[in-house]
Amino acid sequence: MTDTPPSDTPKRRFRLTRRRMILGSGLVGGALVVGYTAMNPMQVGGALLTAGGPDFDPGPFGPYIRIDADGGVAIVNPQQEMGQGIHAALAAMIAEELDADWDTVRVVDARVNFAAYGPQMTAGSHAVAYHWDKLRKTGAAARSMFVDAAALRWQVPRRLITVQNGVVSHPQSNRSASFAELLTDAARHAPPREPVLKRPEEFRLIGTDRVRRKDCGPKSTGRQVYTQDIQRPDMLVAMVAHSPRFGGMLKRFDDRDARRIKGVVDVFAIETGVAVLAQDTLAARRGRDALRIEWDDSAAERRSSPELTAWYRDIAVGRAVIDATSFETRGDIEQPQTGDRFETTIDFPYLAHAPMEPLDCVAQVRGWDVDIWSGSHLATLDQVQAALTARTIPGRVKLHVLPAGGSFGRRGLMSCDYLVECVRIARRTGHRPVKLMWTREDEMTGGYYRPMVHHQASIVLGADGLPSDWRHRIVAQRLIPVGDNPQNSEGVAGSPYFAAANTLDCRIASPELPVSVSFWRSVGHSHTAMAMEHIVDQLARRARRDPAEYRRALYQKAGATGRLRVLEALCTRAGWGKPLEDGWARGMALHDCFGTIVGQVAEVRLDSGRLVVRRVVAVVDCGIAVSPDQVAAQMEGGIGFGLSAALHGAITLKDGVVQEDNFDSYAPVRMDEMPLVETHILPSTRPPTGMGEPGVPPIAPAVANALFALTGTPTRSLPFGRQA
């Protein structure tokens, strides 16, 4: 896909009436707003509103649809493509209502433009849900304009006109015309105020296997251009030496050797370390290696992971005191627990995102004007941050959003760390463009991790075997600097497993330390699903009940009908309860997040101590599955990603220094470890919900529960087989 400017059709007919609505809805609620507020509300708010430039012309069919003179339909994707296939799902929504010829529809990426697209933020698996009505209405409005044009031209009633595959017809008179033939006329009609949408049963495209990604061609021939591949005239390559410890500050550096390296152009200190500018990547790397740097570690984190884990455990039991907030309270929590108490803890490590494309960004600063090439998924925020860094206004920042070689949240930071770093460097190159390259080591040791987490639970079962008294403590750093850390209690908060509890006391404590943390694919659910789903299997065993049957009882009590439906399908599809070969066991987990419910059953064996997962059966309820193929792809990807973390993933500190810095020490699953994945999508007429993240959370507990079934030993820390 290319970055194509919006249509140059001269007329401006499509009024951007939804702009206010976007402002009203897109910026309220949710974490992103809190992030804005935390920075500087006036400055950021004002800057945002001027973003995008005043000269944007949406064209006759609005900012999302461009139809060429030859009838070719291009759909503008306002969201960022990082592998999740969002471009195809969004385009299909428009193409469905427009009745365009899907096979020839092209998708182009939008340039960042607040006036046209509102805040462009791709996060929280929200894109499909957020755009569902909006984009379909856009498509339906354009379709209606073609129908108007045909009705007028043929002098027939609108209702007798049909549209299919980009052809408008009046069957009674056997007349038909293509979009191309009607284009000029259609563009003269005004879009209807309230376009009529299809009922789900009328869909011809949505929900079919025809909705496939449109970017497989360039991505299967090496032709897809990523930020890493950008070349600009006169461009320099930059690398930055960062403090090896979080919170370390630059004391002094000696760049004499670095400057002697052939190709090194300049060396200077910036806020985040020492930047080396060179003619090419290798020279930048060699120049950086030749730096001699002294760091001031007086404010740096010097502890090692075991000390942090011990501290977190102390916090959970009150031996170390930091403020905690309650997120679930029921009954008399001052009363000590009585009866047969089940207690457990589980520790989670820091996790790096390790997208296949290490972090990179290209920036050129020319006075007020800034050009950025980046795989940004919080594009609007990145635009604002770039402007603040370059001391200009967002309207002067042209952000060319490129597909990212993965992100998993790393390219979606509030502080846009690597982009800001790149702009800082680009301010000092005399207008020359700069490509900032982080090495794999930079990325893995550079922080913004999924936080370390400790869960501690103490639960009493009632006479019916269901939890009657549940006390739960979570210890995890905040993902954003303010608030009660809701991102790390999501998945425990509101759990259906609390349905039978008279007493409920859940609290979260948020320690502060210099190690930076952030959003990691599925965010808090990446640990809360493991905690809750593994606890439930242990409770079921205590109550001498089958894990599926035990869940069913709790879901019934909670009125969790969505979960019940997934559970029933999962049991059937996975053959729950049917015998397996010797040495194999099944484990189940079910979780809902971002509006999507996923259940997974893993088949697991211990092969002389090595954990083998051969097959995962997954059932998903994501509302209407716009692209079943991509739902399955995200399920496969989510399972591989979650399994990588569960089997091998840990970022650990020794004297404050990160020990894992490349794929040898931080190992994702490889082909020989990848289980078969079978995805079953539940039929639904509910509006679609996201799929980029919900496949991740259930896999770790599904495997843990299978192991528990095999060995009788619960998992107390991840990754499996490792002592926290």
Partner 1 sequence: MTHSLFVNGRLHSVDTDGDAPLLWVLRDHLRLTGTKYGCGKAQCGACTVHADGQPVRSCSLSLADAATSRIETIEGAAGPEAEALTAAWVARGVPQCGFCQSGQLMSALALLRANSAPTDADIDAAMSGNLCRCATYNRIRAGIHDAAAALGDRS
Instruction: Give the C-alpha separation, 635 to 669, whole Å.
Output: 15
Out of 53, 72, 486, 668, the only residue in the binding site for partner 1 (CB under 8 A) is 668
SS3 string of 166-224? CEEEEHHHCEEEEHHHHHHHHHHCCCCCCCCCCCHHHCCCCCCCCCCCCCHHHHCCCCC
Residue listed under structure tokens 């999507």? 596
669 binds, among ligand FES, partner 1, none (CB under 5 to 8 A by kind): partner 1
The nearer residue to ligand FES, 354 or 622, going by C-beta atoms, is: 354
The nearer residue to ligand FES, 281 or 556, going by C-beta atoms, is: 281
The nearer residue to partner 1, 286 or 478, going by C-beta atoms, is: 286
Q: Please, what is the angle between helix 699-711 and helix 628-648, to 10°?
A: 50
Instruction: Name the E strands within 283-380.
Output: 292-296, 324-330, 341-348, 360-366, 369-374
**CB of 255: closest distance to partner 1 in angstroms?**
21
**Footprint on this chain of ligand FES (rule: CB under 6 A):** 83, 356, 406
**CB of 671: closest distance to ligand FES in angstroms?**
11
The nearer residue to ligand FES, 356 or 482, going by C-beta atoms, is: 356
Question: Do 270 and 241 contact (CB within 8 A), yes or no?
Answer: no
Pick out residues in 427-456 that bind partner 1 (CB under 8 A). Answer: 437, 439-440
**CB of 383: closest distance to partner 1 in angstroms?**
22
Decide: is 637 part of the binding site for partner 1 (CB under 8 A).
yes
Out of 297, 636, 660, 693, the only residue in the binding site for partner 1 (CB under 8 A) is 636
The nearer residue to partner 1, 248 or 695, going by C-beta atoms, is: 695
169 binds, among partner 1, ligand FES, none (CB under 5 to 8 A by kind): none
Which backbone phi and psi does 610 adopt, to 5 degrees? Answer: -90, 130
Q: Please report, in angstroms and rounded to a whole number, the separation of the first and last CA atoms in the chain.
A: 44
Q: Side chain identity at 647, as an amino acid letter?
A: L
Residue listed under structure tokens 């499996």? 720
Question: How many chain residues bind partner 1 (CB under 8 A)?
Answer: 61
Decide: is 614 part of the binding site for partner 1 (CB under 8 A).
no
Instruction: Give the C-alpha separation, 101 to 700, whole Å.
Output: 42
Instruction: Give the C-alpha separation, 81 to 148, whole Å.
Output: 35
The nearer residue to ligand FES, 83 or 447, going by C-beta atoms, is: 83
358 binds, among ligand FES, partner 1, none (CB under 5 to 8 A by kind): partner 1
**Binding track, positions 73-92, relative to partner 1; x by CB under 8 A:** ---------xxxx-------
With CB under 8 A as the contact rule, which of the stretches 415-423, 544-552, 587-595, 674-682 interacts with partner 1?
674-682
Decide: is 304 part of the binding site for partner 1 (CB under 8 A).
no
231 binds, among ligand FES, partner 1, none (CB under 5 to 8 A by kind): partner 1
**CB of 663: closest distance to ligand FES in angstroms?**
7
Q: Please, what is the angle between helix 179-188 and helix 127-154, to 10°?
A: 90
600 binds, among partner 1, ligand FES, none (CB under 5 to 8 A by kind): none
Show the CA angle centred on residue 481, arms to residues 476 and 484, nearest 5°.
60
Show the CA angle centred on residue 356, arms to residues 350 and 360, nearest 5°.
90
The nearer residue to ligand FES, 440 or 565, going by C-beta atoms, is: 440
The nearer residue to partner 1, 150 or 437, going by C-beta atoms, is: 437
Q: Residue 529: which residues within 8 A CB-CB, separation 6 or more?
A: 491, 522, 589, 591, 593, 697, 698, 700, 701
β-pairing, 292-296 with 676-681?
unpaired
Residue ranges of alpha helices (H) inside 99-126 are 114-117
Decide: is 694 part of the binding site for partner 1 (CB under 8 A).
no
Decide: is 115 part of the binding site for partner 1 (CB under 8 A).
no
β-pairing, 453-461 with 434-437?
unpaired
The nearer residue to ligand FES, 216 or 317, going by C-beta atoms, is: 216
Show the CA angle centred on residue 434, arms to residues 116 and 286, nearest 5°.
145
Out of 589, 677, 706, 707, the only residue in the binding site for partner 1 (CB under 8 A) is 677
458 has which bridge partners?
Answer: 343, 471
**CB of 631: closest distance to ligand FES in angstroms?**
17
The nearer residue to ligand FES, 209 or 664, going by C-beta atoms, is: 664
Token digits for 218? 């360039």
The nearer residue to ligand FES, 226 or 720, going by C-beta atoms, is: 226
Question: Do 267 and 259 contact (CB within 8 A), yes or no?
Answer: yes
Pick out residues in 212-271 that bind partner 1 (CB under 8 A). Answer: 212-213, 215-226, 228-229, 231, 237
β-pairing, 360-366 with 434-437?
antiparallel
**CB of 221: closest distance to partner 1 in angstroms?**
6
Binding site for partner 1 (CB under 8 A): 82-85, 212-213, 215-226, 228-229, 231, 237, 280-282, 354-358, 403-408, 437, 439-440, 629-630, 633, 636-641, 643-644, 662-664, 668-672, 674, 676-677
